Amino acid sequence: MTIGLHQPVLIDQQDRQEAIRCLLPTGSGRLQAARFERFATENRIGLDWLWACRNEQGQVRCSALCVPSPGRTVMVFLSPVVNSQQIPERAALLRHVLEQLQAQSLDLAQALMSCEDALARRTHIEGGFRELASLLYMERSLARRHVPPPAPEGTELVDWSPELEPALTGVLEASYEATLDCPGLCGLRRTEDIIAGHRATGNHDPALWKLLRVDGEFSGAILVNPGSSRDTVELVYLGLAPSIRGRGLGRFLLETLFAEVASGSWARMTLAVDTLNRPAIRLYEQCGFRGSTHRLAMIHALGKS
C-alpha cells in the first residue's frame, strides 16, 4: 500500500467501530470497540472527527480520533505504533488530520503518550507535532481534616465570580512571566480560551476557584475542579505573579484548599506538572503529593490569531 493511492478518509457511522478498534491496544476486538463507543456517548465525547487509512481491501489499517474541547483545543488519539514500519503511514495520517483541523476554529492540537513509547514519539514528530513537556502526575490523600491557615498579613483570598473574570485574566497573564511550567505554551492561545479550558476540566465548581489579593492587587490564583470520578478533585492551576513569589503564598493557597475540599466527600487531589518545574514539584511534595506516573505531552499550533 502506498500513501499516495490510499489517502486518509473521514470515517462514517457504519465503519466507526472498526476505526475505533484500531485506536485501542493491539488485540482489541469488536466488544472493546463497542464499549469505547458506548463510553464516549455516555460522556459526550465526540466521535465525528475520526480519520483512517485503509488497505486495498477497504479494511482500516490505522486511525486517528480528534476530540475538540472548550478553549479552542483538540486532543488527538492515534493507533498504537507497534513497529517502525508503521511510522510513515501513521505520520502521514497525522499530517492529513492536522491539515484538516487548520480549517476549524482551533488554536492547538495536543497528544499524550507514555514517555517510554519511542515509536509513538517519533511518529508524532514526523506527523507535525513537537514535544512540549514530560508531565509528572501527582496525587495527595484528603483523608484527614485540615484547618485553614491564617491569611498572611496584607493578603486576602477572594472567591471567583463571573465579574472577576478580568482580574483572573490579569493574574494568569502575570503568572506566565518566567514560568517553568510548560513555557512552550506561552503565546499560543488567548487567555480567555485558556480560562475556558480550565473551566471545562472535570466538573467546574466556582466555589473552588480562588483569587489572591496582595496589598490590594490581584496577584495569584488557585483553580480546583471536582474530577470525573466522584472521590477526586484536580488542581487545575496554581499561579503567582513574579512580584509575590518566594513568600510561601503558594503553600498558603494549597493548604487553604486542602481544608475546604477535605470537608467534602473527596478522597484525593490530583495534578499534573512539568517535570522541569522543580520548585513546583518541591512545593507539592512538601504538601504531601506523591508522583504516580509520567506522560509525554506533544503539541501542534493550529491557530492563526
Total residue length of the chain: 305
User: For 32-70, what is each residue's pLDDT tens digit?
Assistant: 988 988 888 887 888 999 999 998 888 899 999 999 999
Question: pLDDT digits over 213-269, tens only?
Answer: 999 999 999 999 998 888 899 999 999 999 999 999 999 999 999 999 987 789 999
**Structural domains of the chain in order of their starting residue, each with its CATH number:** 9-128 (3.40.630.30), 139-294 (3.40.630.30)
Q: Quote the CA–CA distance of 186 and 207 in Å, as a whole number.
A: 27
Contacts of 304 (CB under 8 A, 6+ apart): none
User: Residue 304: which pLDDT band, with cuts at 50, 70 and 90?
Assistant: low
Residue 231 gets the label, from left (phi > 0), alpha (psi -120 to 50) or beta, of alpha
- What is 170-226 written as a DSSP string? HHHHHHTTT--SSGGGTTSS-HHHHHHHHHHTTT--GGGEEEEEETTEEEEEEEEEE
**Alpha-carbon distance 183 to 231, whole Å?**
31
Gap between the Cα atoms of 305 and 95, Å rounded: 21
